[in-house]
Amino acid sequence: MYDISIADADRLVVVRLGGLMSVEEVDRYMAELGRTMAAHRLTADYRLIVDVIDCPIQTQAVIDRMREHMAAAPRAAAIAVVTASSLARMQIRRLFQQPYARVVSTLAEARAWVLKGEEPLAA
């Protein structure tokens, strides 16, 4: 399950992922994300929040496919990934290694990082 929304004024993409994803669902999600971003002319320096609070740890095949798609994605100005799970944090940190990416605990922290550059609280 996924949901994608755009706030054009802030060049902000907010993605909410939920449940255990399949490789095929990752492909559909990433294709829709690409189409949505293109429709909003977000080709670089956009801000991205990925809310995975409702996601369990994903299979290695799903993580590998996400990594493949991310390698071809346009570069974001800032990324925040939201999770409350310490296990998910470990998986997310391996996937999002960009210096402009942060793993946060709340949507408020995510917005503060991607929109204002405020460092999140250490977790």
Quick check: is 27 in a domain?
Answer: yes
Quick check: is 18 in a domain?
Answer: yes
Quick check: is 26 in a domain?
Answer: yes
Quick check: is 73 in a domain?
Answer: yes
Quick check: is 121 in a domain?
Answer: no
Quick check: is 123 in a domain?
Answer: no
Quick check: is 62 in a domain?
Answer: yes
User: Can you give the residue range of the structural domain that contains 69?
Assistant: 2-115
Phi, psi of 105 (to 5 degrees): -100, -20
Give me the CATH number covering residue 25. 3.30.750.24
**pLDDT 10s digits, 35-84:** 999 999 998 889 999 999 999 999 999 999 999 999 988 899 999 999 98
Question: For residue 122, what pLDDT band results from cuts at 50, 70 and 90?
Answer: low
Number of other residues whose CB lies within 10 A of the CB of residue 113: 22
Count of the separate structural domains present in the chain: 1
Q: Whose CA is closest to 49, among 18, 76, 20?
A: 76
